[in-house]
Structures are given as structure tokens and as C-alpha cells.
Structure 1
Amino acid sequence: MAPGSKPTVPSSVHLGQIQVQKKLGAGCFGEVYKGFHTGLKADVAIKFEAVHNQSPQLCHEAEMLKLLQPGDLQGFARFFYFAEEGNYNCLAMEFLGKSLEDHVQMCGGQFSPKTACLVAQQVLMRIEYLHSRGIVHRDIKPENFMWGVGPKVHHLYLIDFGLSKRYWDKRHVNSSQKLSLTGTARYASLNAHRGMEQSRRDDLEAIGHMLMYFLRSSLPWSGLEARTKKEKYQKIKEKKESTNLVELCEGHPTAFRTYLEYARKLGFKDRPDYVMLRRLFVELRAQLQKDQGKPIEDWHFEWLEGKEHEELDALLPYDDLKQPDDEAAPERPRSLCCFCGGSQVRN
């Protein structure tokens, strides 16, 4: 290998069980490849990160993925393998499809209220599960939500836990201040901009900003010019603080403004009312369904309507989850379907 050149990723990993195929993209951590798991006979996504990376993330992400393995809960990629392979740390997981950001661009830069509502319902399920495991994501953005493939093409997955952190370890972590911004400035919460330790409220607020991006196609603090990253972050923070939520959400269903108002009022250690938040979008979906005079199915996203979907895997009814700070587990007599609002029984 020539001096200064980058080592080549291996052609296979996991003692040859996983074949490395084509490169899909790259990020701050390293590169992503498509691969094939010969034992499972399934496509996989493989992340490679240089062993001597100054800010390694894959080992931490592998630990997070192990904690999140959901059994029959949908929306989290299956974790297959992590190890050091030659010059690289290697992480293999379930292969997924396009991201939310990909689909925003495919839809001309914004989603209809119906699509945004359907997305919101699944996003809230994913974040509630993550929080129930004592973890906050800390980098909510459209690129970190991806769709499944095949019969799961309408299943939304939460990905990329390299910046995730435990907020609960026998008790809630204490608040810290004067921290640098972690996450993506466009969607970050106001308190994250202010240097506060992040907790559940910050993931929820970032989701609210992301949902408004879907509806508006841009946010008032997007595209601000600055000479340095520090100056840009300061301008984004100031614009975010000065933008009234009524103004931000004007012309769009009130559920989105109500959601953001609630998220911004939460205290650092507050236990969010996920049931109430999901109900906002159950009710919005019911209203949109009434307005259009026909049912809105779980797969009625703009890019899937008009196609045949007889073989899709149904989204499971959703149970309320016990959070770490709940004194007792909630009663679970029957599952409340968070999509239609009715009661269903698991098969």
C-alpha cells in the first residue's frame, strides 16, 4: 500500500460469512457497503470505520444496537455482527431502503399533511421505544429514519446511534450546562443550542422541527450564511428563539403546533406523555380520513399510493411502554392500535 493511501476494505468479514459487495455511501464515521450474509441468505448493510479514527463511533453504536434488539417490535434494524477486521471496525446490520430525506426530495421538497401525519405516528413509536430503553438519540434528522424493503417498505426504522446516550442508569442523569452542540443544528432543540444536557424532551422537540420541515419544505433558520460553524450555530439558535410557533406552524394542522408547544414546555427530567402525543396524530388522521371520504391505510404515503400492496407486512398494534421512571408497569389488557385508534388483539 502506497504511503498515505487508505487501506482497502476486506472482501468478506465474519470468517467469510458476510460478503462485501458495493459501496453505498460515506459519513463522518467511515463508509457503508451493501453485503450478503451467506448463512442467513439475506442482504446486509456493513459500516466500516478506520480502527484509528480520532472519534470512533461504531463500537458505541454496536452496544446501543444490542440494547435495542426488539424481538417482535418493528422499526429497529437487526444487529448481526461487530468486530475489528484488519484496519477497520466493522458493523453489520439489516439492510434497509431509502431515508425520509430521500423521499422528501422525491416528493418535490415537502410532504402532504397526510404523509407527515403517517410519518409522525411511526416516528413517535420508535422514539418511545428508544426512551423506554433508557436512551436518547441526540441526532434526530430525516437521514436517520429509513424505510424497510420488500414487504416492509412502509415500515419506518430509526437508525444511527453513534451519538446516542443513556439518560437513565438506575436514576435520571443530572443536568449539565455549557456543552457543545451535539446533533444536527437544523433540528436540534433550543436547550441543546443553549449547551444543556439532552434528555427525552430534546429528541421530541427535534422531531417537531423535523415534522415542520416536511410540511414547509424549509425552516426559517435554514440556509443562514456565516463565516464559521460557531457563528452559524449562533445564528440558527437566535432565529429559532425568535420564531413564534404560531408563525412557524401557520397554515398546517394544529396537531403539529400542539406537539411542538408541549415538547418545548417539558422539563429536563419530565416523563413525556407519549400516549397523548400519539393521540394527536390518531385524531388528525381520523380528520384527514373524514375530509377525503375514504380510509387512510398505513402504507398510504405519496410514493406508494396507486400500487399493489397485497403482500405487505402489517404494522403491529402498539402497546404503551413502561419508561424507566414509571413506578409500575402499565396495565396491558389489549393493544391500542395507534394508527386507527381502535383496540386490536395480537395474533
Structure 2
Amino acid sequence: MLKSAQIIEETGDDGAVVRLSGSVAVACLGDLPDRLDRIAGPVAAIDLTDIDHVDTIGAWTIYRTARRLGCAITGASDDARRLIDEVGKFEEPVPIRPESATPIRRVVGQIGEATITAGATMIGLIGFFGATLVASWQLVRNPRRLRWNAIIQRFEVVGVSALGIIGLMSFLIGIVIAQQGSVQLKQFGMEVLTINLVGRLTFRELGVLMTAIMVAGRSGSAFAAQLGTMKLTEEIDAMRTIGVSPMEALVLPRTIAVVLMMPLLGFYASIISIIGGGFLCAVLLEIPPVTFIQRLREVVPITDLWVGLIKAPVFGLIIAIAGCFQGMQVKANAEEVGARTTAAVVQAIFLVIVLDAFFAVFFTWIGWN
């Protein structure tokens, strides 16, 4: 049974000492707070050596008295000292409203946070790319571990299921390019150059670029959501527990599928876009399809086709790596899945456009223009 708290005032060499004994708990306090409040003389210390038990209320009473008298607390056990320190932290005033920062300081702070986040994400993405290369090398050394069923399934999800939306988008883009180009060229009486515009722009740039953007929004987001959900439900941790590498089982099949399907989808999109441009030229400019195809063969060099086919697998690699990386970063709650999915799409599209700019400069530099 706990004994009620008692107070003993003593005079030592360093001044008065208040010794507490018994239990300083809410059930045993009694009039202890009032008696402590009546102590007014100079006190050097409050001694807790004889304390049997202390709870949060007792710790707060001791801390408040020591702060009022301006004295030290001695003889406390480790648990009592820890509890008194914790209740003492709540004595500090908490601002109801945060301090308002100036607009310049707020903008600079946001730019700094965005820069730090971008740098950390880029470092993580490079590290994830390195882990993918290591896993790929392991599969090269042991091809029997390659999961063909998973790759073929991703072929259908990434490629076959996307043919409809990519075809429709490409057909409309071809029509738009031809229509806008013919309107501008008509001012100079050079409507026939619309074929040049449609052919070169489609094979060289827009066919593969728009396909990459569509695949990033469709498949890249799906990769991030799928892996994020698996990470949230601890399926990936379970795979590691049973000795299955998530990189080999989840990341590599998706990456291989996208890398292999992107050239095919890019070529398919370019052909459909050419058909859309030829359709508009036949309707508005009265250019027969035979003339359109013949002119197309004359003005579009084969290097334009190679430029698109070279860029396509690189774009596919970026999309797959970004989607899988963001999915593997999901933690804590379901809200992270949505945030990481959005980040995967934005990151993939940004990197695709940046790489496309580098490719444009590079191919012009080597003479493929």
C-alpha cells in the first residue's frame, strides 16, 4: 500500500532543504500542493531520495514548486527524473498561430525545399537504376531466373491494351499538324510542304514523344500504384522473406516489357499519325494518297525513322524506372500511393522531354538533320 506524501523541512550547509517521502501520486497527494505553496523561504533543493512512487500529477507538482522557489531537484530516481523533465517541456508556451514569414522568405524557402527534394529524388533514381543494372546482370548470368510469363503479361498491358488510345491520339495529332501547317503555308502558296511537315515531324519527334507521354501516364502510373500497394500490404517484404528478389520478380519484367514495346508503339503511332495527316491532305488540300506517299518517300530520310527508333527504348527505360522507383518508395499510408503515382508520371514526362532535347542536339551535331 502506498504511503501518503510527507514534507520535512531541514536546514543544511547550503540552505534549507525540503525532503519529500512516501508516494507523490494523485491518490496520495492530499493537501501536499497547498503545503508546498506555503513554503516561501529560500530553499536550496527539493530532495526526492525517500520518494516511493511518483506519477504525472506528482511530477508536475514537484516541478512547479522547484520552478517557483528557484531551487534544484535532487535524489530523484531515473524514472522520476525522466518524468519531471517530460512534464517540464510542456511549460514552454506553444504559439497558437505560426509566425508569418515575408513573401520573399516564403518563396525562397519553398524553392530550397523543392531543390532538396529534387536532388534527393535524383540520387535515389540513379541508385535504383544501378540496382536494376545489377539485377539485370544477375539474370544475364543465370537466364533461367528470367520470368517470361510476367514479361509477356506486361507486353499485353503495356502494348496491346494501349493500341486503341495511342492510335486515336496519333491520328488526331496527324490531323492537327496537317491542318495547322497547311493554314500557315497557304499564305505562301506552299501547301504541298504540309507533307514535309507531317512526315518529318511525326517520324522524328512527335510520334515517339507523344507515345512516351501516353505510356508514362498509363503504364508508369500503373507501375507506381501496383508496387506501392504491394509495399503497403507488405507483400514485397514477404517476397524478401522467402528469398525472392523484388527487383527480379517485379521491376525487371516491367522494365523489359516497356523497353521492348516502346519502339513498336512509337512506329505504330508514327504510321497512324501519317495516315491522319494524309487523310486531311486528301480532304482539304485535294492531294491524292498516291501523291502523298510518293512525296513522303522523297522528303523523309531514313535517318528520321532511326532517330525515333533509337529514342524509343531509352524513353521506355526512363518511364519504367521512374514508375517502379516511386512505387517502391511508398510508406506509411494509402495517401502515399496517390502521391507517388503522381510523382512517377511527372518525373517520367519531365525526364523524357529533357532527354528528347538532348537527343535533338546530339543528332543535329552528328549530321542526322
TM-score (norm 2): 0.21
Structure possessing the higher relative contact order (Cα contacts under 8 Å, 6 or more residues apart): 2
TM-score (norm 1): 0.22
Pick the structure with more strand per residue.
Answer: 1
Pick the structure with more helix per residue.
Answer: 2
Q: Which has the greater radius of gyration?
A: 2
